[in-house]
Structures are given as structure tokens and as C-alpha cells.
Amino acid sequence: MSDQNQTITGFKLWHLSLPVNARRDHGIGSVAGAVEIVVLRLEAEGGTAGYGEASPWVVFTGSAEATYAALDRYLRPLVVGRRVGDHALIMEEARAAVAHCTEAKAALDSALFDLRAKIAGVPVWALLGGKCRDAIPLSCSIADPDFDKDLVLMARLRADGVRMIKLKTGFKDHAFDMMRLERLRADFPEFDIRVDYNQGLHHDTALACVSDVATFKPTFIEQPVKAHLRALMARIRDAVDVPLLADESIFGPEDMAGHPGIADGVSIKIMKSGGLLRAQTVARMAAAQGMSAYGGDMFESGLAHLAGAHMIAATPEITLGCEFYQATYFLREDILAAPFPVVDGHVHLPDTPGLGVSVNEDALARFEVAQ
């Protein structure tokens, strides 16, 4: 029997609540105290285990409870008893088995890739087309409503060699956004600054606000208005000379095909697209339309960061870095057995089999939410 013909015999889930060290405000909502994720472990008959993470946010993609239910009730029957090598067919069936729930599907896809890669003795990036980069520049979001706390974080980032930040805007008032941009430009001139509204602007004032922010020449301005206001996104894009990035307006390949011209780039997230291959497809469709791509994320642990990093490592079309900062700068404790590999402001890709860093199952037990 081929190793890839091993039967998948185990399917275990954890719903976790992970404490965080700060508050994060965005245009569509806030996070404080803890973030909730769902972790999946698949086990093959030979004893090898593969892990995946779903990282939902209730105002963006859905709830941890719904994600857990999707995996447990609707996706589990598609997996247990199947061959490891049935990965592609399992994911195609998963798309039809339950609507939406893209984070649940991303967790399943990640766990299958981790399992297959470990059995094959190769890193996940090797199954995604091969590695085009060894390290990915890291961006950290600046989103605390207490800006003095973010200035402390900025000093830490500078000392750690991080040179990219994304300023979250639109959750307070325009004057607060402009004040922070002015201070950051003055005190941290070496940083590449991006701006992200997370849909926070009202359609009546969006163009004026974005035009003011554009005077600071950020690398890009992300999702200023509600996801469905795509015509307004296109008008704002045409009116300012700073690239506009789409996030909430573009989840998967279907959105790329149906809404051309709304932005100059797109934020690629495996949690939005529903898996690693679909995220690569979004990036390639963007490149075919002359759009740039950025490696975004949700509120994740190092486990989901690893899956996203392997995807970006094998996707040359993603050129604007990644946002996998939470495991290092936001969570009080990660669930990986070793630190998520950030060195000198870059995420470094593991070359060991699978995702490359083991999961600490003691941490899973400590942070588990009772079902």
C-alpha cells in the first residue's frame, strides 16, 4: 500500500480561547481579552498526525461555535475512512457539504496538507509548487485605541527588526487617524506604513477621508468602505494616487472573477478563501489582472500562521509581505511547541516535514472551551 493510500482514522477538535495582551480596534469591531479558534487533528492509520486551524471572527467570517459545528457535523463524515491521497476530492466535497464556513474548510485543508507532507517527508510548501522565497517580510498591525501603548509596541518592533506596519483606521474619528499617521511618519521614518479601514468609513465621507490619508503616501490603503460597495471602491481607487487594497470585498476566486476594477491589490487569507490552494488561485487571478497581493490573516495562533506562510512561500504572486504577527506580538501564549519562526522582521520558512513546528497539546488542553 502506498503511504498516501493510508486511511484517515482520527478526527479530533478543540475549541480554544487564547488570552491576548492588548486591545485591537478595527473599522468593523474590536477584540480584547481573548480570541477563539478551532484546532483540528487528523490521524492516519500509520500513526502520523496532521493539524489545521480555523480562525473565525464573528464580524468578518463567522463564529467559533459555527466553525466547530461545521467541522464536527458536516465535514467529519467526508474525512474519516478516506485515503490521505483523497485530499483534493475531500476538499471539493467539503465545498458543497456546508455553505460558507471558509475557516472550517481552511482548517481541514491545512490538516490534510500537514498530514500528507509529513507522510511524504517534505515541507508543505513542496506540495504547493515549491518554495520561491526563504523568508517573508512581517507586518504588524497598530490598532490599540490607546496610542501610547502602540508607541511602546513600535519601539519593540524597531528593536526586533520589523520595518512594516499596518495602521488600523476608521474605528474612532478622522482626526485620530491623521494624528497617528503624522506621529508615525515623524518618529518612525524607516517604517513602511500601510493603512487599513476594515470597512470603517461611511460612504458619504469615505473619499474625503481617504484623500487626506493618501497625502502621507502609505504603501496601500485597504478596504475603506463596506464590502458590498464595490462601485464606490472603484471610484475611490480612481480618485487617489495611492494603491487601494480589497479585503472583505474579495474572499475567494469567485469574487475575483465577478468584480474586476475595484482595487489595485487584494489581501489573500486562507481563512477567507477556504484553503491553501484556493488562496493561491486568488493570488494568481489577481496577478493576471495586474493586481498586487498581500498575505493577510485573521486573529490566529502560530499554527494558522504556519499554513499561511507555506502558502505564501510557494506563491510568487504575493509580493507585499505577510501579517503573521499575532503569535509573537498579540497572544499571551501560543499553542506551538516552539516559537513561531520570526527573525529580524521576517517569517522564516521551516524545511522540516509538514508545517514544520509541532503543536503543544498541553496548551490545547489548558485553553479548551467546554462544549
> Is-contact 337 360, C-beta < 8 A?
yes
Q: What is the DSSP string of 170-232?
A: SSS-HHHHHHHHHHHHHH-TTSEEEEE-TT-S-TTTHHHHHHHHHTT--S-EE--S-TT-HHH
The CATH number covering residue 274 comes to 3.20.20.120
Boundary residue ending a domain (96, 121, 146) = 121
Whether residue 2 is predicted with pLDDT greater than 70 in this model: the reply is no
Domain count for the chain: 2
Same domain, 79 and 56: yes
Distance in angstroms (rounded) separating the CA atoms of residues 44 and 136: 31
Position 1 confidence tier, pLDDT thresholds 50, 70, 90: very low
Residue located via cell numbers 478551532: 38
Residue 298 lies in a domain: yes
Residue 329 lies in a domain: yes
Position 139 confidence tier, pLDDT thresholds 50, 70, 90: very high
Whether residue 106 is predicted with pLDDT greater than 60 in this model: the reply is yes
Domain range holding 328?
127-348
Residue 364 lies in a domain: no
Distance in angstroms (rounded) separating the CA atoms of residues 272 and 276: 10
Same domain, 75 and 55: yes
Residue 363 lies in a domain: no
Distance in angstroms (rounded) separating the CA atoms of residues 22 and 32: 6
Same domain, 158 and 105: no
Same domain, 100 and 199: no
Cβ burial 280-303 (10 Å sphere, 16+ → b, else e): bbbbbbbbeeebbbbbbbbbbbbb
> What is the value of pTM for the model shown?
0.96
Residue 362 lies in a domain: no
Same domain, 55 and 12: yes
Same domain, 110 and 138: no
- CA distances to 61, 105, 128 from 99, rounded to whole Å, are 12, 10, 25
Residue 355 lies in a domain: no
Same domain, 309 and 201: yes
Whether residue 305 is predicted with pLDDT greater than 70 in this model: the reply is yes
Name the nearest CA neighbour of 61 among 274, 281, 369. 274
Mean pLDDT of 150-170: 98
Same domain, 259 and 308: yes
Share above pLDDT 70 across residues of the chain, in percent, rounded to a whole number? 99
Residue located via cell numbers 467539503: 94
Residue 366 lies in a domain: no
Q: Residue 149: count other Cβ atoms within 10 Å of its Cβ.
A: 14
Same domain, 222 and 312: yes
Same domain, 242 and 336: yes
The pLDDT score that the predictor gives to residue 103 is: 98
Boundary residue ending a domain (121, 145, 168) = 121
Whether residue 209 is predicted with pLDDT greater than 50 in this model: the reply is yes
Boundary residue ending a domain (63, 95, 121) = 121
Q: Average pLDDT of the chain?
A: 97
Cα three-residue angle 75-80-85, rounded to 5 degrees: 95
Residue 317 lies in a domain: yes
Same domain, 184 and 318: yes
The CATH number covering residue 103 comes to 3.30.390.10
Q: pLDDT tens for residues 170-205?
A: 999 999 999 999 999 999 999 999 999 999 999 999
Same domain, 202 and 233: yes
Mean pLDDT of 159-164: 98
Q: pLDDT tens for residues 48-66?
A: 999 999 999 999 999 999 9
Q: pLDDT tens for residues 248-281?
A: 999 999 998 877 789 999 999 999 999 999 999 9
What φ, ψ does residue 2 adopt, rounded to 5°?
A: -65, 145
